[in-house]
Amino acid sequence: MHDLSTMSDDEFLDAFLACSLPPEGFDHRSHLRIAWVHLQRHALEDAIERTCDGIARFAEHLGAPDKYHRTLSEALMRLMAHGGAADPGLSWTAFLAGNPALRDDAAGLLAQYYSPERLALAQARRRFLDPDRRPLPR
């Protein structure tokens, strides 16, 4: 398999769905990219389900199902949608350039909406919990 950054969106999506992406390469940026691809191709709620189901399946495939966190994944996708990820005129690189907080400090961005205590709840890993600090943008 070649460098993830040189894969087309279709190649990247196919490898993700087949759980054939290299585990060491499936980092934060790869999580964002798979979410961006789904947001480009599907309505928000469908994109969230496809992405979250896929990430959970990938974590299970890697033998690390406890690494999946539904609230983190869905909240980031909602923030991505607000940041223009669903705009068909916005390329992946343009989206990243226009959303430095999502790209470089997702934890800090999420801390504006969620307390550490809320994110640490076991149920937050299994299902989406609304923020306890301020509402996510619509």
pTM of the entire predicted model: 0.93
Q: Tell me the per-residue pLDDT of 80-112, one tens digit each, with 9 for 90 and over.
A: 999 999 999 999 999 999 999 999 999 999 999
Rounded to whole angstroms, the Cα distance separating 135 from 39 reads 20
pLDDT at 137 over 70: yes
Residue 52: its pLDDT value, please? 97
Output the CA torsion sign for 62, 66, 70, 73. negative
pLDDT score of 24: 83
Tokens read off for 75:
């909240």
Residue 2: per-residue pLDDT:
56
Whole-number percent of the chain with pLDDT over 70: 99
Alpha carbons 65 and 58: distance in angstroms, whole number: 8
